[in-house]
Amino acid sequence: MIPRYSLPEMTSLFTDEARFGAWLEVEILATEAWAELGVVPKDAAVAVRERAGFDVAAIEERELITEHDVAAFVDVVQERVGQPEGTWVHYGLTSSDVVDTALSLQLTRAADLLIDAAVALDAAITRQAHEYRDTPMVGRTHGIHAEPTTFGVKLALWALQVRRDVERLRRARAVIAVGKLSGAVGTYSNVDPFVEQYVCGHLGLSAVPATQVLARDRHAELLYACATVGASVEAFATEIRHLQRTELREVEEPFRAGKQKGSSAMPHKRNPVKAEQLSGLARVLRGNLGAGLENVALWHERDISHSSVERIILPDSCALAYYVLVKFRSIVEGMHVYPERMIENLDSSYGLVFSQPVLLALVECGRSRDDAYRVVQRNALRTWEERRPFIEVLREDPEITKTLTPEQLKACFDLKRAIANVGRTFEVLDAANGAA
């Protein structure tokens, strides 16, 4: 991933140094396991632990000859250890034993960072949800005024969605936290199962049955969790983009006045560029998931059609998912909220957002639902045409006044009553938080 969309704590897990370092730990532990079995001399295993090392440039130079990265790596490590002890490095193993187990170690560490970032985002959104719990605003469906809600409810639902992302990440971590050291085609023909158990146990991984490679549905599940993180953040960012439009201006992403510039040409602009950036990156995460699903089908016990793809999409997806989680948290924590503007927009549709309470009041007073609906709809259309308060138009309709008393009609337009039950959402939010 390009530095623009990378954060060092994640990208450091996928450098060449980190990758070869993970390979080396697998190789050292395997040698020690063989020593436990009495196959490798104890002093040789000690020498491997003490002297094994590598130089990235040396591996790359050696690969020009071998045209095989693991073989080049083993050659360099064996040279560092020296003979005869170095001979035992990679004993009984096939390349995928090292590569797949080490990759799982890297991805497990990456998943830990993703989980921490998602939990932190949940906490940030939850704090803001409680801050704006009773801040009324218009709810919109199809982009059209529907009924009143609160900004806190909107945020609470975001938090609950992020918690589902956390659970998906945790499940994906469990699925990918596995290793295999079962040799060519996975039959343990040249590797004692103890070696696999020993290595995986020391790395915090579970040993699992496999062919020559770990099944790639595991990696696809992690990519799916990353993609759903992107999709969630995209949904939230899209909402902020809509609410920041000039016509609404209910919420704005953070903007450093006096330093930040919204446009190179128009000084008045405060564009939702951060939210737009995250919306775009979510598309990359979804694209990577598609490639990851293509990787699941391999020939027989293995091929390497997945390998070149994974070198790109796994580090990139982890980096991007982490980036969007961290950056959206900064948006949530620093966003500008305009409650007065929310009320202005709520009132801009002349009170039509209370059409359903009027409908229900008519039904409660004995009108058929279809008849009541047509009466209310007729008056709603007149309200739009005349651009007058809905309640005034209703008071002029005999079909309304003969059914509802003035007090009953007025009660239909009670904003506090409309949002009185938002506490139910917060009961779920707080109960889920306690469970977490």
Whether residues 312 and 375 share a domain: the answer is no
Whether residues 81 and 117 share a domain: the answer is no
CB atoms within 10 A of CB 292: 25
Catalytic-labelled residue, pool 189, 263, 305, 368 = 263
Residue 259 has what pLDDT? 76
- Residue at which a domain ends, from 310, 343, 376: 343
Burial of 352 (0-12, 13-18, 19+ CB in 10 A): buried
Whether residues 86 and 98 share a domain: the answer is no
Whether residues 306 and 364 share a domain: the answer is no
Whether residues 375 and 333 share a domain: the answer is no
Report the distance separating Cα 264 and Cα 213, nearest Å.
52
Report the distance separating Cα 12 and Cα 56, nearest Å.
15
Whether residues 233 and 255 share a domain: the answer is yes
Q: Find the angle CA(228)-CA(234)-CA(236) to the nearest 5 degrees.
A: 110
| Cis peptide leading into residue 398 (ω within 30°) | no
Active site residue 68: no
Whether residues 164 and 250 share a domain: the answer is yes
CATH number of the CATH domain containing 356: 1.10.40.30
Report the distance separating Cα 168 and Cα 156, nearest Å.
19
Whether residues 360 and 246 share a domain: the answer is no
- Residue at which a domain ends, from 52, 67, 91: 91
Residue 267 has what pLDDT? 78
Burial of 96 (0-12, 13-18, 19+ CB in 10 A): buried
Name the domain count of the chain. Answer: 3
DSSP β-bridge partners for residue 178 = 206
User: Which of 128, 124, 102, 306 shows the shortest CA–CA distance to 204?
Assistant: 102
Whether residues 45 and 119 share a domain: the answer is no
What are the phi and psi torsion angles at 139 (to 5°)?
Answer: -85, 140
Residue 263 has what pLDDT? 66
Active site residue 90: no
pLDDT in tens, 370-393: 999 999 999 999 999 999 999 999
* Paired tokens of 178: 């596995």
Residue 166 has what pLDDT? 98
Residue 35 has what pLDDT? 98
> Are the CB atoms for 393 and 379 separated by under 8 Å?
yes
Burial of 323 (0-12, 13-18, 19+ CB in 10 A): buried
* Tens of pLDDT, residue by residue, the chain (436 residues): 899 999 999 999 999 999 999 999 999 999 999 999 999 999 999 999 999 999 999 999 999 999 999 999 999 999 999 999 999 999 999 999 999 999 999 999 999 999 999 999 999 999 999 999 999 999 999 999 999 999 999 999 999 999 999 999 999 999 999 999 999 999 999 999 999 999 999 999 999 999 999 999 999 999 999 999 999 999 999 999 999 999 999 999 997 777 777 666 777 778 899 999 999 999 999 999 999 999 999 999 999 999 999 999 999 999 999 999 999 999 999 999 999 999 999 999 999 999 999 999 999 999 999 999 999 999 999 999 999 999 999 999 999 999 999 999 999 999 999 999 999 999 999 997 765 5
Report the distance separating Cα 64 and Cα 166, nearest Å.
42
Whether residues 77 and 123 share a domain: the answer is no
Q: Packing angle between helix 16-36 and helix 42-51, nearest 10 degrees?
A: 170
| Residue ranges making up the domain that contains 132 | 94-343
CATH number of the CATH domain containing 188: 1.20.200.10
Residue 432 has what pLDDT? 75
Whether residues 8 and 130 share a domain: the answer is no
- Residue at which a domain ends, from 91, 115, 141: 91
* Paired tokens of 343: 């009320």
Report the distance separating Cα 383 and Cα 66, nearest Å.
79
DSSP β-bridge partners for residue 27 = none
CATH number of the CATH domain containing 46: 1.10.275.10
Whether residues 196 and 265 share a domain: the answer is yes
Alpha-carbon torsion (39, 44, 50, 53), positive or negative: negative
Catalytic-labelled residue, pool 142, 264, 268, 300 = 142
Burial of 330 (0-12, 13-18, 19+ CB in 10 A): middle
Alpha helices, H only, 132-181: 151-176
Residue 301 has what pLDDT? 93
